[in-house]
Amino acid sequence: MSDIPRLAAQMQVSDRAGQLLQSQTVPREAVVDLLEADLHRDALALALRLLPRPYAVAWLCQCARASALDPRDEAGLRLAQQWVQQADDASGRAAAAFAEANDYLTAGAWLAASAAWAHPEPVVENGAPPAEQLTATAGVAALLHIAGREPATFDARIAQWARDAAVLLGGLGPSSVERA
Protein backbone atom coordinates (compact mmCIF):
# COMPACT_ATOMS: atom_id res chain seq x y z
CA MET A 1 0.00 0.00 0.00
CA SER A 2 1.34 3.38 -0.98
CA ASP A 3 1.77 6.25 1.45
CA ILE A 4 1.05 8.78 -1.29
CA PRO A 5 -2.72 9.12 -0.59
CA ARG A 6 -2.02 9.52 3.14
CA LEU A 7 0.71 12.11 2.54
CA ALA A 8 -1.53 13.96 0.09
CA ALA A 9 -4.31 14.02 2.68
CA GLN A 10 -1.87 15.44 5.23
CA MET A 11 -1.22 18.28 2.79
CA GLN A 12 -4.96 18.81 2.35
CA VAL A 13 -4.92 18.48 -1.42
CA SER A 14 -8.15 19.05 -3.30
CA ASP A 15 -10.72 16.28 -3.61
CA ARG A 16 -9.90 15.95 -7.29
CA ALA A 17 -6.19 15.51 -6.51
CA GLY A 18 -7.00 12.98 -3.81
CA GLN A 19 -9.00 10.92 -6.30
CA LEU A 20 -6.19 11.01 -8.87
CA LEU A 21 -3.70 9.77 -6.29
CA GLN A 22 -5.68 6.84 -4.84
CA SER A 23 -3.74 4.18 -6.72
CA GLN A 24 -0.49 6.07 -7.21
CA THR A 25 2.63 4.45 -5.76
CA VAL A 26 5.51 6.33 -7.41
CA PRO A 27 6.24 9.78 -5.95
CA ARG A 28 7.40 11.56 -9.10
CA GLU A 29 4.55 10.07 -11.15
CA ALA A 30 2.05 11.24 -8.54
CA VAL A 31 3.30 14.81 -8.83
CA VAL A 32 3.37 14.64 -12.65
CA ASP A 33 -0.21 13.31 -12.64
CA LEU A 34 -1.26 16.40 -10.68
CA LEU A 35 0.68 18.68 -13.02
CA GLU A 36 -0.95 17.11 -16.06
CA ALA A 37 -4.35 17.73 -14.45
CA ASP A 38 -3.41 21.42 -13.93
CA LEU A 39 -3.51 20.95 -10.15
CA HIS A 40 -0.35 22.95 -9.61
CA ARG A 41 -0.89 23.94 -5.97
CA ASP A 42 -1.66 20.34 -5.08
CA ALA A 43 1.42 19.19 -7.02
CA LEU A 44 3.61 21.70 -5.20
CA ALA A 45 2.27 20.69 -1.79
CA LEU A 46 2.68 16.97 -2.46
CA ALA A 47 6.17 17.36 -3.89
CA LEU A 48 7.29 19.31 -0.84
CA ARG A 49 5.86 16.59 1.40
CA LEU A 50 7.60 13.85 -0.57
CA LEU A 51 11.02 15.49 -0.56
CA PRO A 52 13.33 14.77 2.37
CA ARG A 53 12.79 17.66 4.79
CA PRO A 54 16.35 19.08 4.71
CA TYR A 55 16.33 18.95 0.92
CA ALA A 56 12.94 20.69 0.81
CA VAL A 57 14.23 23.52 3.01
CA ALA A 58 17.32 23.98 0.85
CA TRP A 59 15.13 24.16 -2.26
CA LEU A 60 12.76 26.62 -0.58
CA CYS A 61 15.74 28.85 0.19
CA GLN A 62 16.76 28.67 -3.47
CA CYS A 63 13.27 29.72 -4.56
CA ALA A 64 13.20 32.58 -2.06
CA ARG A 65 16.66 33.83 -3.05
CA ALA A 66 15.41 34.19 -6.63
CA SER A 67 12.51 36.38 -5.46
CA ALA A 68 12.14 39.96 -4.27
CA LEU A 69 12.02 39.88 -0.48
CA ASP A 70 11.56 42.61 2.10
CA PRO A 71 14.10 42.89 4.95
CA ARG A 72 12.03 40.81 7.38
CA ASP A 73 11.67 38.03 4.84
CA GLU A 74 15.39 38.19 4.11
CA ALA A 75 16.05 37.71 7.83
CA GLY A 76 13.88 34.58 7.86
CA LEU A 77 15.61 33.33 4.73
CA ARG A 78 19.02 33.83 6.36
CA LEU A 79 17.92 31.77 9.36
CA ALA A 80 16.62 28.99 7.12
CA GLN A 81 19.88 29.04 5.14
CA GLN A 82 21.87 28.92 8.36
CA TRP A 83 19.94 25.83 9.39
CA VAL A 84 20.57 24.23 5.98
CA GLN A 85 24.30 24.84 6.37
CA GLN A 86 24.62 23.83 10.03
CA ALA A 87 21.52 21.78 10.86
CA ASP A 88 22.24 22.21 14.55
CA ASP A 89 19.99 22.79 17.52
CA ALA A 90 20.98 26.45 17.89
CA SER A 91 20.06 27.33 14.30
CA GLY A 92 16.80 25.38 14.59
CA ARG A 93 15.88 27.24 17.78
CA ALA A 94 16.78 30.61 16.23
CA ALA A 95 14.58 29.85 13.22
CA ALA A 96 11.71 28.74 15.47
CA ALA A 97 12.01 31.88 17.60
CA PHE A 98 11.95 34.10 14.50
CA ALA A 99 8.86 32.39 13.09
CA GLU A 100 7.03 32.70 16.38
CA ALA A 101 8.10 36.32 16.94
CA ASN A 102 6.68 37.16 13.50
CA ASP A 103 3.43 35.29 14.24
CA TYR A 104 3.89 33.12 11.14
CA LEU A 105 2.55 36.01 9.06
CA THR A 106 5.32 36.51 6.49
CA ALA A 107 7.20 34.52 3.91
CA GLY A 108 10.32 34.88 6.05
CA ALA A 109 8.53 33.54 9.11
CA TRP A 110 7.33 30.52 7.14
CA LEU A 111 10.80 29.90 5.67
CA ALA A 112 12.24 29.95 9.19
CA ALA A 113 9.46 27.67 10.44
CA SER A 114 10.15 25.17 7.65
CA ALA A 115 13.75 24.95 8.83
CA ALA A 116 12.85 24.71 12.50
CA TRP A 117 10.38 21.91 11.82
CA ALA A 118 12.78 20.05 9.51
CA HIS A 119 15.38 19.60 12.23
CA PRO A 120 15.84 15.91 13.17
CA GLU A 121 14.97 16.83 16.76
CA PRO A 122 12.68 19.82 16.23
CA VAL A 123 11.92 22.33 18.91
CA VAL A 124 9.14 20.83 21.00
CA GLU A 125 6.33 23.13 22.03
CA ASN A 126 4.12 22.13 24.96
CA GLY A 127 5.70 18.67 25.06
CA ALA A 128 4.62 17.55 21.59
CA PRO A 129 6.87 17.49 18.52
CA PRO A 130 5.49 19.12 15.36
CA ALA A 131 3.73 16.91 12.84
CA GLU A 132 5.94 15.57 10.06
CA GLN A 133 4.11 17.46 7.32
CA LEU A 134 4.69 20.89 8.88
CA THR A 135 7.96 21.50 7.04
CA ALA A 136 6.11 21.09 3.74
CA THR A 137 3.11 23.07 4.98
CA ALA A 138 5.37 25.95 6.01
CA GLY A 139 7.14 25.75 2.66
CA VAL A 140 3.89 26.01 0.74
CA ALA A 141 2.86 28.99 2.89
CA ALA A 142 6.18 30.73 2.20
CA LEU A 143 5.90 30.22 -1.55
CA LEU A 144 2.25 31.34 -1.61
CA HIS A 145 3.23 34.53 0.23
CA ILE A 146 6.06 35.18 -2.24
CA ALA A 147 3.94 34.46 -5.32
CA GLY A 148 1.09 36.57 -3.93
CA ARG A 149 3.20 39.71 -4.20
CA GLU A 150 2.74 39.64 -7.96
CA PRO A 151 -0.90 38.65 -8.62
CA ALA A 152 -0.46 38.77 -12.39
CA THR A 153 2.11 35.98 -12.27
CA PHE A 154 0.83 34.09 -9.22
CA ASP A 155 -0.48 31.01 -11.04
CA ALA A 156 2.50 30.84 -13.38
CA ARG A 157 4.95 30.95 -10.47
CA ILE A 158 3.12 28.23 -8.58
CA ALA A 159 3.06 26.08 -11.73
CA GLN A 160 6.78 26.62 -12.34
CA TRP A 161 7.70 25.82 -8.75
CA ALA A 162 5.56 22.68 -8.93
CA ARG A 163 7.37 21.58 -12.11
CA ASP A 164 10.74 22.35 -10.52
CA ALA A 165 9.80 20.39 -7.41
CA ALA A 166 8.77 17.43 -9.57
CA VAL A 167 12.21 17.43 -11.15
CA LEU A 168 13.76 17.34 -7.68
CA LEU A 169 11.94 14.12 -6.96
CA GLY A 170 14.32 12.55 -9.45
CA GLY A 171 14.25 10.74 -12.69
CA LEU A 172 12.21 13.28 -14.61
CA GLY A 173 13.63 14.70 -17.77
CA PRO A 174 12.62 18.24 -18.74
CA SER A 175 10.31 16.94 -21.47
CA SER A 176 8.20 14.97 -18.99
CA VAL A 177 7.69 17.93 -16.72
CA GLU A 178 7.47 20.72 -19.30
CA ARG A 179 4.45 19.16 -20.99
CA ALA A 180 2.52 19.13 -17.72
Residues 66-109: tens digit of each pLDDT? 999 999 999 999 999 999 999 898 999 999 999 999 999 999 99
Backbone phi, psi, residue 128, to 5°: -120, 130
pLDDT at 33 > cutoff 60: yes
- Rounded Cα–Cα distance for residues 9 and 166 (Å): 18
Confidence of residue 178 (pLDDT cuts 50, 70, 90): very low
| Residues sharing a CB contact under 8 Å with residue 77, sequence separation 6 or more, in sequence order | 61, 64, 65, 69, 108, 111
Higher pLDDT, 15 or 175: 15
pLDDT of residue 131: 84
pLDDT at 173 > cutoff 80: no
Higher pLDDT, 179 or 125: 125
pTM: 0.90
- Rounded Cα–Cα distance for residues 38 and 51 (Å): 21
| Residues sharing a CB contact under 8 Å with residue 179, sequence separation 6 or more, in sequence order | 36
CA angle 68, 70, 73 (to 5 degrees): 100
Residue among 28, 2, 4 at smallest CA distance from 17: 4
Confidence of residue 174 (pLDDT cuts 50, 70, 90): very low
